[in-house]
Each structure stands twice: as structure tokens, then as C-alpha cells.
Amino acid sequence: MIDSRPIGVFDSGLGGLTVAKEIFRLMPNERIIYLGDTARVPYGSKSEETIRRFGLQDARVLKDMDVKLLIAACNTVSSVAMDYLQEHIKDIPVIGVVLPGARAAALRSAEKRVGVIGTAATIRSGSYARAINNIDPGIKVYGKPCPLFVPLVEEGLIDSDITRMAVQHYLYEMVDLGVDCLILGCTHYPILMEVIQSTVGNRIQLVDSALWTAKEAQNILQAMGMSAGEDAAGLQASKFLVSDITPNFETVAETLLGTPLPGIEKVPVEELEGKQP
């Protein structure tokens, strides 16, 4: 069975494009409708009530576009609001980025010491620790918020002295704690993977939640017989929506996606806010 409907992917900003990148790599025939709420980014510093409200608004915009699978590619929404989204979006599968990353880390940590880096809201929620301990209660999980990483990525400072200093500042603690697995718990962070790996050393495995989320999406579509046909146009037929087009938008988007966007459309914030019951 072939299902030509698109996959819906949303994030508070542009970081979720790393999930889109992995989807296109694993499933080049699939097309995506991506929604980045760039007018209200970041979500990580907001209250749980606001995160749930914004997440549901984003999800409903995409659901109304007849997507076949919905991915909350925002670690903050995935950490705080997944149950809330699944309660309100019932007709299609809804997945986040936390559980796939947690599963991958639990399987790879020989020393049973896992580190998680992400936004303040993601770390404060304890979502990764709960997910990992549900899989293996014997694993110790250490969280560390890294608030400078997202602005560094969005400024294009991928391999700079200031970025290396920030990575050292945040992550030497993880090395000292003896973790053998480190979850990149924010979809911006894979862009910093080389700098992070060189800082923590090869003994620590990095787990890219964007990659494992794309793999979970692939598994769900295959299991449900909902994959696109071989003649589907993939990336070139995909749509990219944002609630605000910022000055360096295209540069950041191309960095995160790994290729220029085929087109960009603006969705007014008022349209997002109209999706709340």
C-alpha cells in the first residue's frame, strides 16, 4: 500500500530541520510539511502551559494539511507536552524526539551512565531520565542545560573559538561524571557534533535524537503500509512554513537541512493561535 500524504514536522524554530534532513536521507521519496514557529521561539524558556498550548497549535496547523504522521521535532514540546498532543490528535500517529533518543542511549551505554544536554525546559522536565529509567532502571542519567548552543548555531558559529569554549564550559562536567553516552537533546545540537565529539573524546558515544526519530518514523510508516511510492518527489515537493522570516533565516535553514530550501511560506501567528480550542 502506498500513502502519498506528507509527513508533518514542527519545531519552535529551525532546529527540527535536522530531523527533516534525516528523513530525506532515510526516505528520499517522502515529502514533508515543516512548520517552524520562528516568531515565538524559543519555547524552552516558557511555562509548561504555554509550551503545551503552542505545541498543540503547531500540531493542528499540520493536521489540517492532511499529514499522515506528525513529528514534534522540538525537544521542549516532546519533553513537556507529548501526552497532551496525543490526547488531542488521535487520527494519526504522533511521535516526539525524546523516546527514540532514550531508547538508543539505553542500548548503547555499557557503563550505565548517560548524559543529556538540552534546553533548560527539557532538562528541568526530566523526560529523558524517565524514558531511560523505564527501559533500564539501573542507568544513571545526568542532565545539563546548554543555553548558549542554539544561538551559536543560529549565528553560524559552528566551528569557532567561542563555540569550543562554550562546549568545554558545559561538557567537561559530563566527562568528569564518567558518562559513556551523551544524548544531544536539542535538534540544533547535531550541527555541533564534531566540536562536541572532539571535546568529550571518542570514549563517549553521541546519540543524535534527530536521527533516531527519523528511524522511528520510517519504522512506523513501513509497519502501517504508509510509505510513499518510488515516484514521489520528496524534498522538491515539500513545503516549509515559518511564522516569521528572520534576517538570517535562509543561511541557518540551509546549515541545518544541509541543502537550500525549495521554498518558504509564512504562516501568521494569528493563524496558529486560531487553532486552540
Nearest to residue 98, comparing CAs of 265, 218, 11, 210? 210
Scanning the chain, the segments in alpha helix (DSSP H) are 17-26, 48-63, 75-80, 82-88, 98-108, 120-125, 127-135, 149-154, 161-177, 193-200, 209-223, 249-257, 269-273
Candidates 186, 195, 204, 214; catalytic one? 186
Report the alpha-carbon angle 123-35-74, nearest 5.
10
Helix, strand, coil: what percent of the chain each, to 5?
50, 15, 35
Q: Are 122 and 186 in contact (CB under 8 A)?
A: yes
186 is annotated as an active-site residue: yes
Instruction: With H, G, I as helix, E, B as strand and everything else as coil, classify residue 144.
Output: strand
Nearest to residue 96, comparing CAs of 123, 64, 144, 131? 131
Candidates 74, 106, 200, 211; catalytic one? 74
* Angstrom distance (rounded) from CA 268 to CA 24: 27
β-strands 205-208, 239-242: how paired? unpaired
> Quick one: DSSP state of residue 35?
E
Nearest to residue 187, comparing CAs of 74, 42, 37, 47? 74
Alpha-carbon distance values, 251 to 81, 153, 254, 261 (Å)? 30, 11, 5, 10
Q: Catalytic site residues?
A: 74, 186
